Amino acid sequence: MEMQAEAAAGGPGGPDLRSDLPVVSFNQACEYFIDSLTGRSQQTRDAYYMDLLQFKLYLVRYRRHLIRRGDPERIERLEEELAKARGKLLDTRYTQRRHRLEVRSRAILDEFDLDLSQLTKEDIVGYFGYLESGKSLSRATLLRRLASLRRFIGLLVKEKYPVPAEVLEKLNDMDIRRERRLPIALEREEAQDFLRVVSKDPRDYAIVLVMLYMGLRISEVVRLNEDDFGPGTQGISFQGKGGKERYVPVHPVVLDAILKYKEVRPDAERDALGVPLFVSRHRRRIDPSTVRKLIKRYAKEALALDNQKRKKLSPHKLRHTFATLLLQGDVDIRYIQELLGHENLSTTEIYTTVRKADLERAIDRHPLGLEPAEQAAESRSPSR
């Protein structure tokens, strides 16, 4: 494999630079890495790309000796644009306080390129320290960023790019403990109450049933097409994360709701994915943000939900509910793993975390079945 490395060029100096190594362009290496993700969904490729852009942003801002293209004086402008976008990488226009603002943080970052041959393990440690303390990211996000960098640098090392081996060694040695908090999920009665509230709208009712009875990701829900469901449909195959295909049966309740929705569904034109099943008010494929908003709206009306669930209910929480209810119904965890499309069983095992309510129910069902002393005394006392 021919290395996409440039001849060493002049640029801002820095401490302990290894001038004997050819320059490894971050931009070219990133392009090569994304192209190597064959068989992966566009959503997965985009997620990897955004993770690498965040790493690049950190290096441009705080490891300037790695810059090999771009004017360091433009970093001040980059900081200004990031402040406008509240730290996000954007290249768009949006309204804030009734004023039109043009945000160009992403475009300015694109002006820069970095030399990965000069990367050190200290840069890696500094990046994750910044993410954990400066950005206050969740453990799940930190784990994803670490996995993305491991795969990126691992590919470069495998393809003989002159990236220091210590960088990959440091990435492989890093240990970010996963949070074992139980995902927020609805109890059976809460889910039934939520469905009762949603049932007044055929489209929204069908969407929620699909999530609660099939455990689909929101990206999979909005990609459903009209011809995916017919009177005899028994199941659907999905291509999930990592290009892995899985089969999910369609419950009769779900099929009935979808067929009833199709009777009143407005016509919509075919798009790049086909003729959409779930259609917006504008007669286009429904957007994930619309689904999130409608779930938030209905959650406020569901009286059986506590305040935390009303505030935090989301499409992914309904997916958690699907898995949790199946597990409570004694479905084998391996089947749940398959239905959710989890590559590793450890991902599914988070649903097996014991809850306080489960412990209390277990004690209530103690096989000895003895009664409290007061109740026992009452039962022994002669009736009058």
Q: For residue 360, what pLDDT is reported?
A: 64
Q: What is the DSSP string of 128-171?
A: HHIIIIIS---HHHHHHHHHHHHHHHHHHHHTT----HHHHHHH
Average of per-residue pLDDT across 115-143: 88
Q: Which pLDDT band holds residue 85 (cuts at 50, 70, 90)?
A: confident
Check whether 11 has a pLDDT greater than 90.
no
Task: List, in sequence order, every residue forming a beta bridge with 69; answer none if it has no partner.
Answer: 113
Check whether 98 has a pLDDT greater than 50.
no
Check whether 97 has a pLDDT greater than 60.
no
Check whether 250 has a pLDDT greater than 60.
yes
Please check whether residue 75 is in contact with residue 30, taking contact to mean a CB–CB distance below 8 angstroms.
no
CB count, 10 Å around CB of 286?
22
Q: Is the pTM of this model over 0.75?
A: no
Q: For residue 15, what pLDDT is reported?
A: 46
Q: For residue 354, what pLDDT is reported?
A: 53
CB count, 10 Å around CB of 206?
25
Q: For residue 207, what pLDDT is reported?
A: 97
CB count, 10 Å around CB of 323?
22
Q: Which pLDDT band holds residue 355 (cuts at 50, 70, 90)?
A: low
DSSP-based three-state secondary structure for 220: helix
Nearby residues of 154 by Cβ (< 8 Å), 6 or more positions away = 168, 171
**Which domains does the chain carry?**
5-70+112-173 (1.10.150.130), 188-363 (1.10.443.10)
Q: For residue 212, what pLDDT is reported?
A: 95
Catalytic site positions: 217, 241, 316, 319, 342, 351
Check whether 32 has a pLDDT greater than 70.
yes
Residue 14: DSSP 8-state: -
DSSP-based three-state secondary structure for 76: helix
Mean pLDDT of the chain: 84
pLDDT > 70 in the chain, percent: 79
Q: Indicate the range of 9-18, 30-39, 345-354 predicted with least confidence.
A: 9-18
Q: Which pLDDT band holds residue 6 (cuts at 50, 70, 90)?
A: very low
Q: For residue 4, what pLDDT is reported?
A: 40
Q: Which pLDDT band holds residue 347 (cuts at 50, 70, 90)?
A: confident
CB count, 10 Å around CB of 33?
21
* Distance between CA atoms of residues 271 and 284, nearest Å: 8
Average of per-residue pLDDT across 301-328: 91
The pLDDT tens digits for 174-233 are 888 766 666 788 999 999 999 999 999 999 999 999 999 999 999 999 999 999 999 999
Q: Which pLDDT band holds residue 328 (cuts at 50, 70, 90)?
A: confident
What single-letter amino acid sits at 310?
R
